[in-house]
Chain A
Amino acid sequence: MAETYGWAGKILRVNLTTGEITTEDDTKYHEYIGGMGMGYRIMYDEAPMDLDPYDEKTPIIFGVGPLTGSGVPCSGRMNVTFRSTWSKGKSIIDGHIGGHIGPMLKYAGYDGIVITGISSTPVYLRIEDDQVSLEDASAIWGKGTFASNKWLIEQTGREFESASIGPAGEHLVDYSTMNTSFGNSAGAGLGAAMGNKKLKGIAVRGTGSVKVADPQKVLELSNYMLGNLIGGNNNHNVPAQPQSWAEYSATSGKNRWSGAPGRMWKKAPGGPIDTGEQPYNDINKIALRCFKGYFDFGAPAAEYTVKNGGCSSCPIRCYTEYDIDPLADYDLPTHNSNTCMPVLYGDRVYPYGLHDFKYEGDAKLVINLAWAHAVDDMGVWDNYGNLNRDLQWFLNLPREEALKYVSAEEYDSLPWEWCKAGDPRWEVELIRRMAYGEGDLSVIAKGTLAMMEKFGLPKSWLDRDDGTTNSNLMYNGYPNHHGPAEAWQVGMLYNLVYNRDCMVHEIVCETGSGAPFEVTKKVMEDFFGEGCYDRAKAYTPINENKVKLAAYCVNDKNFHDSATLCNWMWPMTQSPSKERNYKGDLDLQADFMTAVTGETYTQASLQETGEKITQMLRAMTAISFQLNCGSANLRQEHDAICDWVFDKEPDFQAFEEGTTKLDRDDMKKAIDMFYTHYGWDLNTGVPTRETLEKFGLSDMADDLEARGIYSQSTAAAETTAE
């Protein structure tokens, strides 16, 4: 196998139907970096969008990249490419997972795993370097992910990393995940994709290493990054409250550099730890910066915090680890840890409100950590909060209205007394019903679109101006992800691209940093040109630099999921250093790529590769929309924007100071400019032949041609001309 610097040199192929396990040289995929890029190429080449997502031949592609496991900070991620079962068009989709399993796959000698086929019995994939086998997983089929992962480690050994699906995946629940025992998860329906294949989990041990071309350079770049560029979580570059070395802090007291004097980990072994001050150039205190629990829940988090954990190779410990002892009173697990969505929205399923448990203001924390543990255990995904929003919508309906959607028997079987009492077992029971597909209500976990179809809700249900229960920017079944409310037209544009919530953090890392607007604006305009960056809730009309910024974000995110790097932390756009005028270094990721692989990369070349992945995504999306929606006109079918985005906040006009609403004509112009930037047909949003050929994707252009998709572009143009 062609082991090279950075890349392990081979991928593993596992056919669950035949049990055949082989390896393959992966040099031909290096032009796609790895992870997402490699997954897309393999999916296109080997599993046409014509296949049903649950077809035996449809693969699941686990992919890491040259930086995974290389020691580059914040690189402990793995991308998983498969087919959506729940979003419009049933197209190509990704889940993303942190923790330690991605790097371990590299240490075992693999850049990816392509899993095809369907096993007749539950199995798990055991990888110990070149010893790879499918093992019986009957003993844990039906078990939660925590029990399953523990069992997997008991079977294989403590040196292994494992991940497993829960009952949701086994029951082909569309909102399902694959989880590690630490709370890391890859969602988007991966649990069901694995469950369909009877693949309960993966256990990996690697005793090798990632070969690095210039280790000295990697060390130098790491020291440079840690001492000058890195901030807190999301690379927020000022602390949440004043620290003596810092000129600025987040006035709200709330950003992701939440460690501060007086903010304690009160349940730390050996006694409370005060996170104190963390001067930006004191690299030994970086791990005290991100006190994510404090960011999420404020002071009550300190009472329950044991420590903060995180992923391989990352000094930003964004997983607060708690001991929520009040949950013991409900016979629920007390040791909980997570970050991001699983800990944020559990409280939304309590229409009668919450009560504090042990400390003033701890209700939301206790409830949300119970939610986090339950969804992780049962392997339930929340579709970036749509699960919670849709449940919230239903649970707030008067009984007589709710009975339009579920039977009285089912409605009354819900333990409402727990709901009214703010009892954490209420949410656990709801999650259990979702995970097992019990009752009509569980359709909510099959997707917002499936729920709308079953309940007979019209398309205009997604146009409602109700930020609490409707965050859908488009009509595709997934919600806003750092869209216009944080990133004006730029946020709307990058939300258009994917077949799930976009997972793009390039802008929210800046707008949420807490630094003064003028400071951040200067940094952004230095990088991306004048007028690219708007003040909060004071937007300006679209311009060329905003369009370029939106495309940069998409391409950069694609690179991150291919390399792999954490998109919450990368790129290093801002810096906490006053001496640097708070300006980061966008070239650093290319410098790391060069140092690790020994091949020359530049920011421009990474953007080009990121754009190539965008073009592949767009072409495959067009094909699947043609197959599943009857039209490949992505402008109409995929990129249509819900009315509330333009009609909310009726007291404000678009571009008036104080609103994030967008203007229809301006957004139409923005989409035109975005399509033009990417070389997509203005009427259909499909990459033109010329565009695909420019990126060496003439095979995809031929495919679009053969499927009649380009003739749809011509027809749409004629219609527009008329």
Chain B
Amino acid sequence: MLFGRRKPGYTTTVDGSDPEQIILDLQKAEMAAKKKPKSEVFDMDAASETARRLKETGSVFDGSAAKTGEDVIAAVEKETAALAAKQAAASDAAAASTPEAAAENPAGQDLLDFLAAAPEATNDPFADQPTVTAPELPQLTPAQELAGYIRSRSASALVTPHALLVSEVENADELLAQMPEDPQCQDIVSRKGAKDIYYYSNANMSDNYAMIAQLIEDKDLCTMVSEMVRFNARIYPSATPMRYFRRSPYNLSQEEVEQTWQAMQARPEYADIEELTNNQNERFLFSTKYLTRRYAKAISDVDDYCD
């Protein structure tokens, strides 16, 4: 009987010599394990680590347990325990031979001490290279410090609103004005949104993502949706699935998407945005400024797919 053929209640005569039966039994045990708390479930990573350690320590474990039908995991654990006992005995013996060291460092010799005491390596290819000392970091100017703050937020996918900067730093405008002149701050750029100016590091954030982040920060959903639908139609070109706005970084709820689209349809400035449904019943928005309905529908349809 093959994997995947059994139906519930299926029974068969157990033949201990049948390797497939052994597999089925293991599978059954695995399914049973699923019902146990996680801590009791067999930990594959731990087992692998065990196997690695066994190998490093000269274990003779070679799969012979599996060959003879023994429980492999039990065999590994048994050998692990034996080795641990052997190593503990060896450690005890070493400690007994050097009682002073044992007293100073009862947990065993520290690795760093061990390395320091080790003789110099011969044929060290790096021996003749001069020791390089890290250069002292220059004192940052206040503008550079502020740039660092903006940079770190950009690295976290956040643009930094001007309002936030002036609320946190007394002379923020003065420092921002210094940045274009400072070679260390050339990556700090800004985008003007509807409600604020947003700063970001173009070394840590792409310009198009900053556009998205600015639209999100402006919190005008109709503008955000229309701008991105037009952008996608113009640049890719592509219609925009409505669920595009459900995903990161927009993370709108379905209700928010629906309400926004409803509101847009009542306003003339969004007259170029239209809806279509593709052949998979998925809803899209597109801009008639850049795409005809016929083409937008065609490129939104999903054709017979293969990998």
Interface residues of A, Cβ cutoff 8 Å to B? 139-140, 143-144, 146-147, 150-151, 153-158, 166-167, 241-248, 251-253, 260-262, 269, 277, 325, 328, 330-335, 339-341, 344, 370, 373-374, 377-378, 384-385, 425, 428-429, 432, 467-468, 471, 479-482, 485, 516-518, 535-538, 578, 657-660
Asked whether, in the complex, the Cβ of A658 is within 8 Å of the Cβ of B298, the reply is yes
Q: Which of B284-307 contact A (CB under 8 A)?
A: 292, 294-295, 297-299, 303-307
CB < 8 Å neighbour of B238 from A144, A151, A251, A339 = A251
Asked whether B232 lies within 8 Å of A241 as measured between CB atoms, the reply is: no
Whether, in the assembled complex, B36 has its beta carbon less than 8 Å from a beta carbon of chain A, the answer is no
Of the residues B45, B155, B209, B240, contact of A251 by C-beta under 8 Å = B240
Q: What is the CB-to-nearest-CB distance from A35 to chain B, in angstroms, rounded to a whole number?
A: 21
Q: Are B19 and A150 in contact (CB under 8 A)?
A: yes
Residues in chain A near residue B62, CB distance under 8 A: 157-158
Given A140-B19, A373-B3, A517-B236, are A158 and B63 neighbors across the interface (CB < 8 Å)?
Answer: yes
Instruction: Name the residue on B nearest A331 (C-beta).
Output: B6
B42-63 near A? 1/0 per residue, CB < 8 Å: 0111000001000000000011
Q: Is the CB of B305 within 8 A of A536?
A: no
Closest 10 CB pairs of A and B: A658-B298, A244-B157, A251-B238, A467-B304, A340-B307, A144-B2, A247-B206, A154-B66, A147-B20, A261-B248
Instruction: Please tell me if B208 contacts chain A, counting CB pairs below 8 Å.
Output: yes
What 20 new A-B contacts, CB under 8 Å, besides A248-B235, A425-B7, A518-B235?
A: A144-B4, A144-B20, A147-B2, A244-B205, A245-B204, A247-B209, A248-B236, A251-B238, A251-B241, A328-B34, A332-B3, A339-B307, A344-B307, A374-B3, A432-B2, A468-B304, A480-B304, A578-B206, A657-B295, A660-B303
Q: How far is the CA of A378 from the CA of B212 in the complex (A)?
A: 49
| Contact A260 B306, beta carbon cutoff 8 Å | no
Q: Mark B186-204, 1 if CB is under 8 A from A, else 0.
A: 0000000000000000001
Contact across chains for B303 and A467 when beta carbons are under 8 A apart: yes
The answer to whether A143 and B2 touch (CB under 8 A), given A248-B208, A331-B10, is yes
Contacts of A341 on B, CB cut-off 8 Å?
Answer: 306-307
User: B19–A147 contact, CB under 8 A?
Assistant: yes
Q: Are the C-beta atoms of B209 and A146 separated by less than 8 Å? A: no
What residue in chain B is nearest A518 (Cβ atoms)? B235
A373 to B4, CA, bound (A): 8
CB neighbours (8 Å) of A277 from chain B are 157
Partner among A139, A140, A147, A247 whose Cβ is within 8 Å of the Cβ of B3: A147
A246 touches B209 (CB 8 A): yes
Taken together as a complex, chains A and B put the C-alpha atoms of A578 and B205 apart, in Å, by 12
* B300 nearest in chain A by CB position: A252
In the bound complex, do residue A153 and residue B63 qualify as a contact, i.e. CB atoms below 8 Å apart? yes
Give Cα A481–Cα B307 distance, bound, in whole angstroms.
Answer: 8
Residues in A with CB closer than 8 Å to B303 are 467, 485, 660
B31, A332: Cβ atoms under 8 Å? no
Q: B187: shortest Cβ distance to chain A, in Å? A: 13
Nearest Cβ on chain A to B174's Cβ, whole angstroms: 28
Q: Could you mark each residue 10-29 of chain B with 1 if its beta carbon is under 8 Å from any beta carbon of chain A, else 0?
A: 10000000011001000100
Closest to A147 in B: B20
Nearest CB in chain B: distance from A371 CB, A: 10
Count of B interface residues, CB-CB < 8 Å: 60
Of B27, B66, B306, most A-chain CB atoms within 10 Å: B306
A contact residues around B249 at 8 Å (CB): 242, 244, 261
Q: Which residues of A contact B240 (CB under 8 A)?
A: 251
Query: Which of A147, A157, A166, A341 has the most chain B CB atoms closer than 10 A to its own CB?
Result: A147
Q: Tell me if B244 is interfacial: C-beta within 8 Å of chain A.
A: yes
CA distance A154 to B248 in the complex (A): 47
What 0/1 pattern do residues 123 to 164 of B give for CB contact below 8 A with A?
000000000000000000000000000000011110000000
Contact B204 A146, beta carbon cutoff 8 Å: no
Known: A251-B236, A251-B241. A658 touches B206 (CB 8 A): no
Q: How far is the CA of A647 from the CA of B297 in the complex (A)?
A: 20
Task: Determine the chain A residues whose CB is within 8 A of the CB of B209 once the complex forms.
Answer: 242-247
| In the bound complex, CA of A248 to CA of B66 (Å) | 51
Q: Which of A261, A385, A482, A657 contacts B294 (CB 8 A)?
A: A657
Q: How far is the CB of A241 from chain B (nearest CB, A)?
A: 5
The answer, yes or no, to whether B106 is at the interface (CB within 8 Å) is no
- Any A CB within 8 A of the CB of B67: yes
| B20 cross-chain contacts in A, Cβ below 8 A | 143-144, 147
B237 on interface, CB distance cutoff 8 Å: yes
Residues in A with CB closer than 8 Å to B292 are 657
Q: Collect the chain B residues with CB atoms within 8 Å of residue A157's CB.
A: 62-63
Q: Is B86 an interface position by the 8 A CB rule?
A: no
Q: A251-B241, A538-B295, A657-B295 are in contact. Are A377 and B3 (CB under 8 A)?
A: yes
CB distance from B30 to the nearest CB of A (A): 8
Report yes or no: B307 in contact with A146, Cβ–Cβ below 8 A. no
Q: Is B8 an interface residue (CB 8 A)?
A: yes
Which residue from A139, A378, A516 sits with its C-beta under 8 Å from B235? A516
Q: Is B274 among interface residues, defined by CB-CB distance under 8 A? A: no
Contacts of B5 in A (CB 8 A): 428-429, 432
Q: Once the chains are docked, how many angstroms separate the CA of A261 from the CA of B250?
A: 11
User: Would you call B243 an interface residue if the criterion is a C-beta within 8 Å of the partner chain's C-beta atoms?
Assistant: yes
Q: Cα distance A76–B76 when bound, in Å?
A: 30
Report 20 cross-chain contacts, Cβ distance below 8 Å, ordered by A residue.
Answer: A140-B19, A144-B4, A156-B63, A166-B2, A167-B2, A246-B209, A251-B240, A251-B241, A260-B247, A261-B248, A328-B31, A332-B3, A373-B3, A378-B2, A480-B306, A482-B306, A537-B298, A657-B294, A657-B295, A658-B294
Query: Do B208 and A154 touch across chains, with their CB atoms under 8 A apart?
Result: no
Chain B residue with the shortest CB-CB distance to A240: B247
B173 to chain A, nearest CB (A): 26
Nearest B residue to A263 by beta-carbon distance? B248
Residue of A nearest to B45 (CB): A269
User: Assuming the A-B contacts A154-B63, A374-B4, A537-B298, are A247 and B207 also in contact, with contact meaning beta carbons closer than 8 angstroms in the complex?
Assistant: yes
Q: By the criterion CB–CB under 8 Å, are A516 and B6 in contact? A: no
A432 CB to closest chain B CB, in angstroms? 6
B63 and A384 within 8 A (CB): no
Min distance, Cβ A500 to any Cβ of chain B, angstroms: 14
Mark out the residues of chain B between 48 and 98 whose CB falls within 8 Å of any chain A CB in the assembled complex: 51, 62-63, 66-67
Docked CA distance A241–B7 (Å): 41
Q: Are B241 and A247 in contact (CB under 8 A)?
A: no
Q: Are A517 and B295 in contact (CB under 8 A)?
A: no
With CB as the reference atom, state the residue of chain B lying closest to A659. B298
* B4, A251: Cβ atoms closer than 8 Å: no
In the complex, A332 Cα to B4 Cα: how many Å?
Answer: 5
Cβ B306 vs Cβ A241 within 8 A: no
Are A253 and B2 in touch, CB under 8 angstroms? no
A456 to chain B, nearest CB (A): 26
Contact B232 A333 (CB under 8 A): no
Q: Which residues of B contact A166 (CB under 8 A)?
A: 2
CB distance from B39 to the nearest CB of A (A): 12
Q: Which of B23, B212, B251 touches A147 (beta carbons < 8 Å)? A: B23
With a 10 A CB-CB cut-off, give which of B247, B294, B307 has the most chain A CB atoms.
Answer: B307
Instruction: Find the B residue at minimum CB distance from A371.
Output: B4
Q: Which residues of A contact B236 (CB under 8 A)?
A: 248, 251, 516-517
Beta-carbon nearest neighbor of B61 in chain A: A158
Are B8 and A330 closer than 8 Å at their CB atoms? yes
Nearest chain B CB to A80 CB, angstrom units: 20
Closest chain A residue, CB of each to CB of B282: A252
* B298-A331 in contact (CB<8A): no
- Cα–Cα, bound, A325→B32 (Å): 12
Q: How far is the CB of A158 from chain B (nearest CB, A)?
A: 5
B residues in contact with A485, CB < 8 Å: 303-304
